[in-house]
Chain A
Amino acid sequence: MATIQHQAKPAVAAAPSTTTGGGQRAMDLYEKLEKVGEGTYGKVYRAREKATGRIVALKKTRLPEDDEGVPPTAMREVSLLRMLSQDPHVVRLLDLKQGVNKEGQTILYLVFEYMDTDLKKFIRGHRSNNEKIPAATVKILMYQLCKGVAFVHGRGVLHRDLKPHNLLMDRKTMALKIADLGLSRAITVPVKKYTHEILTLWYRAPEILLGATHYSTPVDIWSVGCIFAELVTNQPLFPGDSELQQLLHIFKLLGTPNEQVWPGVGKLPNWHEYPQWKPTKLSALVPGLDADGYDLLEKLLEYEPAKRIPAKKALEHPYFKDVRKGDAH
Chain B
Amino acid sequence: MAARAADENRRPGVGRPAPCVRDMGSRRALTDIKNLVGVAPNPCAVAKKPVLQKSRRDEKKTALPSSRPMTRKFVASLASKGQPECQPTGADPEPGVDQRKEPIGDGIIDIDVELDEPVDDSDCDVDMGDETENKDIMNQDESLMDIDSADSGNPLAATEYVEELYKFYRENEAKSCVNPDYMSSQQDINAKMRAILIDWLIEVHYKFELMDETLFLTVNVIDRFLEKEVVPRKKLQLVGITALLLACKYEEVSVPVVEDLVLISDRAYTKGQILEMEKLILNTLQFNMSVPTPYVFMKRFLKAADADKQLELVSFFMLELCLVEYQMLNYRPSHLAAAAVYTAQCAINRCQQWTKVCESHSRYTGDQLLECSRMMVDFHQKAGTGKLTGVHRKYSTYKFGCAAKILPAQFMLELGGTAPPPSGAI
Q: Number of A residues contacting the other chain (C-beta, 8 Å)? A: 61
Do B8 and A154 touch (CB < 8 A)?
Answer: no
Of the candidates B165, B213, B246, the one whose C-beta lies within 8 Å of that of A155 is B165
Contact of B162 among A75, A189, A215, A305 (CB under 8 A): A189
Contact between B245 and A69 (Cβ–Cβ < 8 Å)? yes
Quick check: B155 and A216 within 8 Å, CB to CB? yes
Distance between Cα atoms of A193 and B165 in the complex (Å): 20
Kindly supply a per-residue 1/0 record for chain A positions 82-124, scoring 1 wherever the CB is within 8 Å of any chain B CB and 0 otherwise: 1100000000000010100000001000000000000000000
Residue numbers in B under 8 Å from A191 (CB-CB): 155-158
Partner of B4, one of A153, A197, A215: A197
A63 interface residue (CB < 8 Å to B): yes
Interface contacts (Cβ under 8 Å), in number, total 157
Beta-carbon contact of B253 and A156 below 8 Å: no
B203 CB, min distance to chain A CBs, angstroms? 23
Q: Does B33 contact A (CB under 8 A)?
A: no
Pick from A70, A182, A194, A312: contact of B278, CB below 8 A. Answer: A70
Q: A247–B287 Cα gap in the complex (Å)?
A: 38
Is residue B38 within 8 Å, beta carbon to beta carbon, of the partner chain?
no
**Provided the pairs A68-B258, A69-B258, A73-B9 are in contact, do residues A202 and B279 lie with their beta carbons within 8 angstroms?**
no
Q: In the complex, which residues of chain B have a beta carbon less than 8 angstroms from the beta carbon of A195?
A: 6-9, 253
B interface size (C-beta, 8 A): 52
Q: Bound complex: CA of A18 vs CA of B3, how far in Å? A: 29
Q: Which of A36-90 contact B (CB under 8 A)?
A: 40, 63, 65, 67-73, 75-76, 78-80, 82-83
Once the chains are docked, how many angstroms separate the CA of A185 from the CA of B158? Answer: 15
Q: Chain B: which residue is nearest A218 at the CB level? A: B155
Q: Which of B72-112 contact A (CB under 8 A)?
A: none
Asked whether any CB of chain A lies closer than 8 Å to the CB of B191, the reply is no
Which chain B residues (274-328) contact chain A, with CB distance < 8 Å?
A: 274-275, 278-280, 282-283, 286-290, 295-296, 299-300
B interface with A by C-beta (< 8 Å): 1-9, 11-13, 151, 153-158, 160-162, 164-165, 168, 211, 213, 245-246, 249-250, 253, 255, 257-258, 272, 274-275, 278-280, 282-283, 286-290, 295-296, 299-300
- In the assembled complex, 21 residue pairs joining A and B whose CB atoms fall closer than 8 Å, in A order, are A15-B286, A17-B286, A20-B279, A63-B279, A68-B255, A71-B11, A79-B287, A82-B288, A96-B286, A154-B165, A185-B8, A186-B290, A187-B158, A189-B156, A189-B158, A190-B157, A200-B2, A201-B4, A215-B156, A308-B155, A312-B161
